[in-house]
Chains A and B, each alone.
Chain A
Amino acid sequence: MICQWRYGVLIQKIYKMIKMNLKVRMFLLGMLNFTFLMLANGQNERVNTISCKVVDIENGGPLIGVNVLIKETTQYHSTNLEGSFKVTNVPENGFTLVFSYIGYEGKEILVKPQSKTITIRLKSQFTELEEVVITSERPDANVMNSGMGRNVLEISAMKDLPPLAGEIDVLKSMTLLPGVSSVGEASSGLNVRGGSFDQNLILLGGGVLYNPSHLFGFFSSINAEVVDNIVLYKGVIPAKFGGRASSVVDIGYKVGDYDKWKGNVGVGMVSSKLAITGPVIKEKLALTLTGRMSYVNWLLSLVDDVGIKNSSANFYDVNGKLDYRLNDKNYLSYSIYQSSDDFNLASDTVNQWSNFSQVATWKHTFTEKLTSNVTLAESKYVFSILNDSGVNNFDLTSNVIDRSGRLEFNYALNEKNNFNAGIEARLLKIDPGNFELETNELGDSEALQVQEENGREYAAYVYNTHELNDKIGISYGLRYNLYQYVGEQLVNDYVDLFPRNGQNIINTTSFGANEVIETYARLAPRFGIRYSLTPSTSIKIGVNKMNQFIQLISNTATLSPVNVWKLSDTFVVPQEVVQYSFGVFKNLKNNTYETSIETYYKDIDNVVDYKDGAVLLLNENIETELLNGIGKAYGVELFLKKKTGKLTGWASYTYSRSLRKVDGAFPETRINSGEWYPSNFDKPHDLTLVTSYKPRKNLTFSAVFTYSTGRPVTYPTDKLKLFGQDIAYFDSRNESRIPDYHRLDLSVTFQINTTIKLLKGDWTFGIYNSYGNNNAYSVFFDDVEGAPPQAYKLSILNTPVPSLSYNVNF
């Protein structure tokens, strides 16, 4: 009876395995034979199982993926996510286990047959390291994962970087990674591998953020205290992500503390922040609250200039999160986020913008292998300009509302084979501009509203990551996107023979609410393969396709709050990016050093550009200002990182190009006569050096050096006179560049040795732009009567900017 039962279980197992893995199948068949042999040998043979667990000798943390060899049988095992593995069919005389794990000293132990459970403690090779940063990743993840173009930034690493005005900036830290850049100081917009800043999907705990910036991009609006880690996908992007063409910045929230209340206070030069977390119900429900508030106004009042004295600027952001551990099988969380900015210039005009996001998730564990995830998210981005000057008072607002729901299943056949599949629906609503003008003193007003836009984005996806063996790993998947542009909307028809403009409208069709105006269906395959030449060297190849159905229509160089978001419609065809990437990864000295060379080539379709002198704000026929182009981007990224020891850091060098081509049928629908031209963020050379030196615990010195080619600008070729004014004449876009950019930031973080708990925090003293380089933020031309026309550069933060901040945990 027992034999038959065992046989049945094995058949079931085999049936499952056959579908996936030849090697495992062979192994299992071998096992099966072996079992039969054992069974045939006689019922008396004792069948024993020993559970083994491998942990770190210092902190007792489980070690994942440790290679274990049973010397006698030459069988290999590997520890799972809990750091454990099982040995069945223990030979009568016991056996010898040989442990090898990168970054740890090897170990060989003899296991006696009567053992039931054993715990093996491995010793790290870097015992001089006083603080052990536990990462969820294997130390050789960069080499062994089949995913590529993926960077993980741990918040602890970010905290060692020199801050600006005492702020750790989670998004700006990303620009230190290879392949990521931004156009200048006052821009939190990221350009990833030659992509524009609206091509990044920025997710905070699953909610989409549309403009995560404070002070027009000077700081990002994400409080570092809530962040656990950030994963940047820029190469092969898992199929669960879609809707943006270039990259995904997945910002993960910290899980609240179920055990005890604790908090953190940070005081900086521009803003202060507070974070507390603790159990509402012990072991069950954890609450996290964080807030950050600026006091820029106070700084402004110190400036001796009427324009600045009469101005004001404020920002804040708050996060709230509930983590609820219902039971072993169910985990629920709810998070809410709000950031807000307002500034008014010397005028009576107030500019405001805010991001709001709320996300609810429910994670259910069916079995150890099968889990499900339900996520509901809502995001809202609002921008407004209010004028209360008394004459022509007006009020302009625009907003984007993004609501989505997702059901996802995760099936882990084993540690090396993981399936992920799901469906997603997203409703997008854009109010591009709502303008209200006060026409008289009595408060009568007129309104102008640009038509609201509505879109629906549906997606279904499946993705499999499979480490076939030590040599080969693959990750592949497919995402099917169905996008619909729906009413209520009036859609213009234009004469085909002429460029689209207000005069060439021949007909206007009215679509009712929810009536489908345009449908786009797109298949986006993702594929990556890893081939290991040696255990510490691998090559990877990736092909990735992404689609984008919402774009930022911008004709300013930086991410400006007045930019208008636009859904894909009849005229604006969804953007499509196909990326081919190739990389060589090698770790040296037991993963102390990571090195990699990655190259990529991107083919970009349906890039949106704009006509010369386009008016984008409050334009009812915005399609008349837009042009359709193609783009390409390519580059090589070199990366060297030292991960452990007193001295850590990385060096990254990127050579890349990002080009556009707009070749319409008419002179005004062409840019640069239809030739390839550099995009606004084409910065070929980009070098970053990041070092952090920790001579002892509680003392860290950091330095960051960056150098990059100046971004493209358009210089005039001629000057001319019109209306009595000298005007510069520009022949072609982006043919010249602003001067190259370089900067060195320094910081030191230390703790004062004291027994008073409140004084036991971290002091960080930093200097931004330590040698005061006059980096050009922009270059412009001005003609002064009687003098030759002159180019000027505007530099911001051109002197060393010192900052001091204090952070204390309680």
Chain B
Amino acid sequence: MSIFNYMNKYTIILFFLITSCIEPIEVNIQGEGSNLLVLEGGITTGLGPHTIELTRTAKYGSIFDGVIKRESGALVSVRDSNGEITFLSEENDGVYQTEPTFRGEVGKSYILQIETTDGDKFNSIPESIVSVPEIETLYGVYDERPTENPLKLATGLQVYVDYTDDVDVDNYYLWSVIGTFQINANPELKRDMFGGLAPLDCCETCWAEESNTFPNITNDNTFNGTFTTQPITFIQDDGVRIEDKYFIEVEQLSLSAEAFEFYELVNQQLSISGDIFDPPPATIRGNMINLNNPDQNVIGYFTASDVRKSSIFLFPNELVNKQGKSLIADDCRAYKNNATTVTPSFW
């Protein structure tokens, strides 16, 4: 729960719109950039493969320096509290994965070990897996929201999960969401840049995945030990998403207190928008240590979580006010980056 979210940029623009403006300025950022190691990922009690992604920070402020470099060729392994070591293999540039059969166990603790090609060795602080309660219900509720345009409301389905918090311990939760929807396009109606009809042969039907961008986290401070409803995501009806049906899969993950703090800091930093209630910029750290140079910061948190999954289909008839179907006069694969013509197995 973040009260600061309610104090968005409007607070300031509100009164001074007539005489306020936001404009780009030149700032001179010194230094060459720190080229720090950035880590993302972790392991869960679910089936693998579990992914660790390694990148490097890039200098801020210049278009040429601003490219995030991937850290490839590193030796990555996970060691559990029994001393058992599991190596991760590099599937892609900087993307390391465990075997699909690898899964973490509740109660055990895990250390991530990395050795980069330049010889630096990194170890994480041990992360132990705390159990997470089952998702009792996953459901969508029709909702309308105001938009910038006073004549128009955003309609869609607000997705919630119900679960009962564990009373004995301090629980920290993270939800990750993957939504899948079908795109029905009309490639035969494609027009060229002059407005003339330029029909395409392919493709009419695709499927695309989308996920939440901000980590959705909470702690049980306000509801310890009780039956709780957590809003997960709002699926806006844009005339494409909820035409046929919409598949949503929610993972409910446990976090350690330190991991929660890390996510909270990242969320806080992502919300900086220049308004008067902004928190000050902060240094993001994590749970990795460079053994060769302990003073150097390593960014990112290696998580070890218990996971519970749930998935449902959402249907257009749940929408009280349905938006009109959007016409996509193009190849359906052009509609979204990751759109594919392969029918998902669960569809």
A98 in contact (CB, < 8 A): no
Give the number of chain A interface residues (Cβ < 8 Å): 92
Which residues on A sit within 8 Å (CB–CB) of B68? 719-721
Question: Which of A558, A618, A791 has a CB less than 8 Å from the CB of B27?
Answer: A791
- Structural contact, B222 and A797, CB atoms closer than 8 A: no
* Contact between chains at A306 and B29 (CB < 8 Å): no
Q: Which of B27, B149, B276 has the most CB of A within 10 A?
A: B276
A592 at the binding interface (Cβ < 8 Å): no
Q: Would you call B91 an interface residue if the criterion is a C-beta within 8 Å of the partner chain's C-beta atoms?
A: no
Given A435-B222, A729-B284 in contact, is the A720-B38 Cβ separation under 8 Å? yes
> Which chain B residue has the least Cβ–Cβ distance from A217?
B276
Residues in A neighbouring B21, C-beta threshold 8 A: 774, 794-795, 798
- Is B25 an interface residue when CB atoms closer than 8 A count as contact? yes
A782 neighbours in B (Cβ, 8 Å) = 273
With A311-B14, A730-B283 in contact, do A788 and B55 touch (Cβ < 8 Å)?
no
User: Are A729 and B57 within 8 A (Cβ)?
Assistant: yes
Q: Does B206 contact A (CB under 8 A)?
A: no
Complex Cα–Cα for A723 and B214 (A): 7
Give which listed residue, A347, A719, A732, contacts B6 with CB less than 8 A: A347
Is B3 a contact of A446 with CB atoms below 8 Å?
Answer: no
Residue B47 interfacial (CB < 8 Å)? no
Is the C-beta of A606 less than 8 angstroms from some C-beta in chain B?
Answer: no
B264 CB to closest chain A CB, in angstroms?
Answer: 7
Which residues does chain A contribute within 8 Å of B62, judged by CB atoms? 788
- The reply to whether B6 and A385 contact each other, CB–CB distance below 8 Å, is yes
**With a CB–CB cut-off of 8 A, which chain B residues contact A779?**
25, 27, 274
List A131-154 residues whose CB lies under 8 Å from chain B.
none
Q: Which of A392, A716, A724, A730 contacts B213 (CB 8 A)?
A: A724
Is A314 engaged at the interface, CB distance under 8 Å to the other chain?
no
Does A324 sit within 8 A of B, measured CB to CB? no
Q: Establish whether residues A717 and B34, one from each chain, have CB atoms under 8 Å apart when the complex forms.
A: yes
Central interface residue in B3, B23, B226, by most chain A CB within 10 Å: B3
Q: Which residues of A contact B264 (CB under 8 A)?
A: 613, 615
Closest to B265 in A: A613
B168 CB–A CB distance under 8 Å: no
With beta carbons under 8 angstroms apart, the residue of A555, A713, A731, A776 that contacts B279 is A555
Is B194's CB within 8 Å of the partner chain A?
no
B273→A788 contact, CB < 8 A: no
In the assembly, what is the distance between CA of A501 and CA of B58, in Å?
Answer: 32
User: Do B23 and A349 have beta carbons less than 8 Å apart?
Assistant: no
* Least CB distance, B263 to chain A, in whole angstroms: 9
Q: Which of A401-441 contact B (CB under 8 A)?
A: 435, 437
Answer whether residue A715 sits at the interface, using C-beta atoms and an 8 A cutoff: yes
CB distance from B297 to the nearest CB of A (A): 8
B276 near A186: Cβ-Cβ < 8 Å: yes
Q: A558-B276, A780-B278 are in contact. Are A795 and B34 (CB under 8 A)?
A: no
Establish whether residues B27 and A437, one from each chain, have CB atoms under 8 Å apart when the complex forms: no
With a cutoff of 8 Å between Cβ atoms, the chain A residues found around residue B275 in the complex are 778, 794
Q: Is B60 a contact of A306 with CB atoms below 8 Å?
A: no
Chain A residues in 8 Å Cβ range of B221: 448, 618, 620
Residues B146 and A795 in contact, CB atoms below 8 Å apart: no
B120: A residues at CB distance < 8 A: none
Cα A216 to Cα B285 with chains together (Å) = 33
Complex: chain A residue closest to B176, CB-CB: A723
Pick from B15, B25, B270, B277: contact of A556, CB under 8 Å:
B277
- Among candidates B20, B222, B231, B281, residue contacting A730 with C-beta atoms closer than 8 Å: B281
Q: With CB as the reference atom, state the residue of chain B lying closest to A783.
A: B66
Q: Which residues of A contact B274 (CB under 8 A)?
A: 777-780, 792-794
Are B279 and A556 touching (Cβ within 8 A)? yes
B259 contacts partner chain A, Cβ-Cβ < 8 Å? no
Interface bits B1-37 vs A (CB < 8 Å: 1, else 0): 1011011101111111111111111110111011110
For window 35-68 of chain B, which residues contact chain A by CB distance below 8 Å? 35-36, 38, 40, 55, 57-63, 66, 68
A731 to B38, CA, bound (A): 14
Closest 8 interchain pairs by CB?
A612-B282, A613-B265, A780-B274, A718-B57, A788-B63, A306-B150, A730-B281, A714-B281
* Listed A/B pairs (30) with beta-carbon separation below 8 Å: A215-B15, A307-B13, A310-B150, A347-B6, A385-B3, A391-B231, A556-B280, A562-B3, A612-B284, A618-B221, A668-B285, A715-B29, A716-B60, A718-B59, A719-B68, A720-B36, A720-B55, A721-B68, A725-B270, A729-B284, A732-B283, A778-B276, A780-B274, A782-B273, A791-B25, A792-B22, A793-B24, A793-B274, A794-B274, A797-B16
B positions within 8 Å CB-CB of A: 1, 3-4, 6-8, 10-27, 29-31, 33-36, 38, 40, 55, 57-63, 66, 68, 146-150, 170, 213-215, 221-223, 226, 231, 257, 261, 264-266, 268-270, 272-285, 299-300
